[in-house]
Structure 1
Amino acid sequence: MGTAVPAAALVVVEVPMRLRSFLSVLGGLALLATGLATPAGAAAGSPIPVGPYVDMGAWPTPSLSAMSAASGVKGFTLAFVNSYGCKASWFGAYDPRTAWQKEEIAKIRNAGGDVKISFGGASGIELAQACSTAAQVAAEYDAVVKAYGLKYADFDIEGAAVADPASIARRSQALKTLQNNNPGLKISLTLPVLPNGLTADGLNVVTAAKNAGVNLDLVNIMAMDYYQGAGDQGAKAISAAKATQAQLKSLYGLSDAAAWKKVGVTPMIGVNDSQNEIFYQKDAKALVAFAKTVHLGMLSFWEQGRDANACTGALYKCTNVPQSKYEFAKIFAGYTG
């Protein structure tokens, strides 16, 4: 996730945290000249059983249609919209109201897929932290939803934001307003997790949304960066999913099947920020096989560009494990819900 910075003063930022975003100087400045709205060309709303995160701040700007064609994945989660003051912004560089990248999104929809746009992340300031009222937050969320004709919106709440009562309350109220103003909008919360389930802070974020009347589609867990040392990361992701399902089943009074449909799982492929926790291809296969048995709501991973690069180097762009291009995506694409 990239820290929001003024467009006139973009700098190269590498943030060694989960779900980071990287924005290059030349890339950001070159793209400032683009971003005019284009017709969507297709209706949103296709199911997204698999929706890998794409760091939209990478340079060159990722081509969603090319990624889909090469990987077999039909849906993506686009990261991240944050704040520039109390205004929605793609990592401090583009105003989402211009529907930047809408042409690529239309290609995904025309091919039978769809996208989520994710707000928040480990870097930058989420709108509920930047704005002073729930009404302001809701207005910014709404502007993004309407600019892109979204049927899915994701809210990645981590770091200080996951334990900040004021912004949690503002966000929860804003999400209820957003959903009221956009009937059918599916909202997911992406939260930190441990192999024994959501943390107390994460569970509080879910509870606050529930109490505000938000109809939550998914709780997407970041099955990564546990900082517990080396181990079987596939087994840990499955353990985290099982524990989260039990938490949601209890909180919402759901059946087993309904609770599983509310769970999303997002590992960090390859080497994690913790360095000694490594999610290999065998772990991806194990997670997909498990997902098929319980029909969980969604599988994702951080991050599609790292999978495409298939390289060794800085973690923002490389998995640092031996792999072919899009190897992880092709494994995840085997999950159909």
Structure 2
Amino acid sequence: MGRKRLRLAIYAGAAVLAAGGGAIAAVAGTNGGATLTASFSKDSDWGSGYQAKYTIRNTGGEAVEGWKLAFGLPGSAKVGTFWDASVAVSGGTATASNKGYNATIPAGGAAEFGFVVVGSGDPTSCTINGADCGGGTTPPPAEEPAEDPATPPAEDPTTPPAEEPAEDPTTPTAGGVLAAPYVDMGLLSNGATTLSQLASSGNVDSFSLAFVTGAGCKASWFGAFDPRQKQFADQIAALRSGGGDVKVSFGGATGIELAQACTNVGALQAEYQAVVDAYDLNYIDLDIEGAASADAASIARRSTALAALQKANPGLKISLTLPVLPEGLTNDGLNVVRSAKDAGVDVDLVNIMAMDYGRAGQDYGDLAIQAVRSTKDQIKQVYGNSDAAAFKMVGVTPMLGQNDDNGRFTQDDARDLVAFANENHLGFVSFWELNRDKNACTGALFQCTNVAQSPFEFSKIFAGFRG
């Protein structure tokens, strides 16, 4: 997800990362009566990489239509995931071009895009629309001390406490993750916010963790961390101690999808297994979109590897997260489901990305419900099961607030969707993305919903899903 994504978006998603800190204005580029400045700032730096953003501001009197920013990196650094721009890399230079939704920068307005750098070293050069935009960096903001992840902060006394799970809270039960919003784990890499804090604030206790991609044929958290090093394991353990659990999501809208990076089925299965082992997973999610959803070779390879992975890990639940239209899964998405079934994968859920339909002005809550109904009918055709069984195989994941296509999914839409999901006993609900809900802001889509809301308002609505 990420285009919605985040989309995290950046993904799509979206990988979508929130940015913070100050910025140093660069030299202006001009376009008629418009004047552009660009600035670079870091959100966090963990030594072996960092996440950062460029902010482009129009300080002139006319709107700018379209922008392109090129920046150089030293040999010790390379661009990993990115969001809110199309990025091409040639040698040591990365060129970021606007997306359709942020192409126009009005007079006095701004646009920004974010990215993860693997390695060390700040940009060495920068041009915006061909004009020099200078160098310089702003260090990441001072981090607040991370709280003990085993001791979540006290809840707001005005917020009703989350219901206690029926299962033994120290032993997550397969099939028990019902509402699990996506969390861009890049935002949690500095430890300033924990999964337990998000759970306490939003009344949800389970999450879909985005995204594991491929660094060559090696699993990698968004191009920055090897999961074998068990990054985030302490946060996952703390969440489980409170009765929650996680899905780890492979893929997303950016980066290299692991099944495309690994051309050998055995090697691919080994990378999935390494992540399952690192976090003792009961659930994994495959977010398959973009070119990966139409790549027949990697689809077949993934299906074979997942079937073998499931045999080696009895009880492992596997969900497929796929693009959808109100009329149902795309042909590519439907082929992914059929391939998994034919390979012997016991698919737990088909989770639809109910977003970015290109139908701004229509009711995105109604369209999400229509997409669920349509997907249910497709599942019945593929599996030959009943309406009830097919509904149970459907998960639904809208993008909160403003979508990349300028459609809007509001709080009322969320209430309608959760009510429908409860009435028809869907298998799963989620949304993209939890940090956008936490920020409750107006601004760039990778960090804001752009609808009037209070922090965690959508989370508390989705927490009402009971399956």
Opposite residue 396 of structure 2, the aligned amino acid is V
Tell me which of the two structures has the higher relative contact order, counting C-alpha pairs closer than 8 angstroms and 6 or more residues apart.
1
Q: After superposition, where does 1:265-284 map in structure 2 within 5 Å?
A: 265-275=396-406, 277-284=407-414
Residue 458 of structure 2 aligns with which residue?
328
Cα offset, 1:256, TM superposition: 1.3
2:363 is the alignment partner of 1:232: yes
Is the contact made by 1:72 and 1:333 (CA closer than 8 Å) also made in structure 2? yes
Cα offset, 1:42, TM superposition: 4.3
| Counterparts of 1:150 and 1:254, CA distance in 2 | 28
Cα offset, 1:95, TM superposition: 0.7
Residue 242 of structure 1 aligns with which residue?
373
Residue 29 of structure 1 aligns with which residue?
46
- 1:58 aligns to what SS in structure 2? helix
| Counterparts of 2:237 and 2:443, CA distance in 1 | 33
- 1:335 aligns to what SS in structure 2? coil
**Counterparts in 2 of 1:264 and 1:232: CA distance versus 1, 3 Å:** same
Residue 55 of structure 1 aligns with which residue?
184
Opposite residue 29 of structure 1, the aligned amino acid is W
**Counterparts in 2 of 1:200 and 1:138: CA distance versus 1, 3 Å:** same
Residue 98 of structure 1 aligns with which residue?
229
- 1:239 aligns to what SS in structure 2? helix
Residue 45 of structure 1 aligns with which residue?
173
Cα offset, 1:229, TM superposition: 2.5
Cα offset, 1:31, TM superposition: 7.9
Cα offset, 1:283, TM superposition: 0.2
Is the contact made by 2:172 and 2:243 (CA closer than 8 Å) also made in structure 1? no
Residue 130 of structure 1 aligns with which residue?
261
| Counterparts of 1:142 and 1:165, CA distance in 2 | 23
Residue 296 of structure 1 aligns with which residue?
426
| Counterparts of 2:49 and 2:206, CA distance in 1 | 26
Is the contact made by 2:8 and 2:184 (CA closer than 8 Å) also made in structure 1? no
| Counterparts of 2:388 and 2:466, CA distance in 1 | 16
| Counterparts of 1:157 and 1:191, CA distance in 2 | 6
Is the contact made by 2:368 and 2:398 (CA closer than 8 Å) also made in structure 1? yes
Q: After superposition, where does 1:301-320 map in structure 2 within 5 Å?
A: 301-320=431-450
Alpha-carbon RMSD: 2.1
Note the alpha carbon deviations across 1:70-89, whole angstroms, 9 max, x for none: 11101100000001111000
Is the contact made by 1:75 and 1:114 (CA closer than 8 Å) also made in structure 2? yes
Note the alpha carbon deviations across 1:248-275, whole angstroms, 9 max, x for none: 0111011111111100000000000112
Q: After superposition, where does 1:190-269 map in structure 2 within 5 Å?
A: 190-269=321-400
Cα offset, 1:20, TM superposition: 2.3
Note the alpha carbon deviations across 1:276-322, whole angstroms, 9 max, x for none: x1000000000011011110000000000000000111111110100
**Counterparts in 2 of 1:14 and 1:235: CA distance versus 1, 3 Å:** closer
Opposite residue 451 of structure 2, the aligned amino acid is V
| Counterparts of 1:324 and 1:15, CA distance in 2 | 22
Residue 176 of structure 1 aligns with which residue?
307
| Counterparts of 2:349 and 2:45, CA distance in 1 | 32
| Counterparts of 1:28 and 1:212, CA distance in 2 | 42
| Counterparts of 1:72 and 1:17, CA distance in 2 | 24
**Counterparts in 2 of 1:71 and 1:14: CA distance versus 1, 3 Å:** closer
Opposite residue 45 of structure 1, the aligned amino acid is T
- Give the TM-score of the pair, scaled to structure 1: 0.91
Opposite residue 183 of structure 2, the aligned amino acid is V
Which of 154, 157, 175 pairs up with 2:288?
A: 157
| Counterparts of 2:10 and 2:304, CA distance in 1 | 31
Opposite residue 237 of structure 1, the aligned amino acid is A
Cα offset, 1:211, TM superposition: 0.3
2:35 is the alignment partner of 1:18: no
| Counterparts of 2:397 and 2:16, CA distance in 1 | 19
Cα offset, 1:169, TM superposition: 0.7
Which of 272, 284, 297 pairs up with 1:141?
A: 272
| Counterparts of 1:255 and 1:58, CA distance in 2 | 41
Opposite residue 55 of structure 1, the aligned amino acid is D
Is the contact made by 1:21 and 1:58 (CA closer than 8 Å) also made in structure 2? no
**Counterparts in 2 of 1:16 and 1:140: CA distance versus 1, 3 Å:** closer
| Counterparts of 1:267 and 1:173, CA distance in 2 | 29
Is the contact made by 2:10 and 2:254 (CA closer than 8 Å) also made in structure 1? no
Larger radius of gyration: 2
2:203 is the alignment partner of 1:72: yes
Is the contact made by 1:16 and 1:273 (CA closer than 8 Å) also made in structure 2? no
| Counterparts of 1:45 and 1:151, CA distance in 2 | 8
Opposite residue 73 of structure 1, the aligned amino acid is V
Is the contact made by 2:8 and 2:16 (CA closer than 8 Å) also made in structure 1? yes
Cα offset, 1:22, TM superposition: 3.7
**Counterparts in 2 of 1:309 and 1:193: CA distance versus 1, 3 Å:** same
Is the contact made by 2:350 and 2:395 (CA closer than 8 Å) also made in structure 1? yes
Cα offset, 1:27, TM superposition: 1.8
| Counterparts of 1:45 and 1:312, CA distance in 2 | 38
**Counterparts in 2 of 1:324 and 1:26: CA distance versus 1, 3 Å:** closer
Opposite residue 125 of structure 1, the aligned amino acid is I
